[in-house]
Amino acid sequence: MKRTPKSPLRDIVARNLRKLRAERGWSQERLAEEAGLNRTYLSAVERSEQNISIDNLYRVAVGLDIESWVLLRD
């Protein structure tokens, strides 16, 4: 099976997600609750191992009370 190479944008989202969560002093579990997502999924996104969908990007942004584009900026 052919694999698509990992996009640099995935690393940007991972870095921003970790930073914004840490600034709030939140655990991954707290963010998962706020976003309505699974903690292990968010952990994989933060390690840039899991691709995040647009819908889940929006859910994380709502959980963090930010605009979605903030997670995408370099």
pLDDT in tens, 45-62: 999 999 999 999 999 999
Helices (H), the chain: 8-24, 28-35, 39-46, 54-64
pLDDT in tens, 21-45: 999 999 999 999 999 999 999 999 9
Which pTM does this prediction carry?
Answer: 0.89
Give the separation between CA 64 and CA 21, rounded to whole angstroms. 8
The residues near 3 (Cβ < 8 Å, ≥ 6 apart) are none
Domains and CATH numbers, the chain: 8-71 (1.10.260.40)
Residue 56: other Cβ atoms inside 10 A: 17
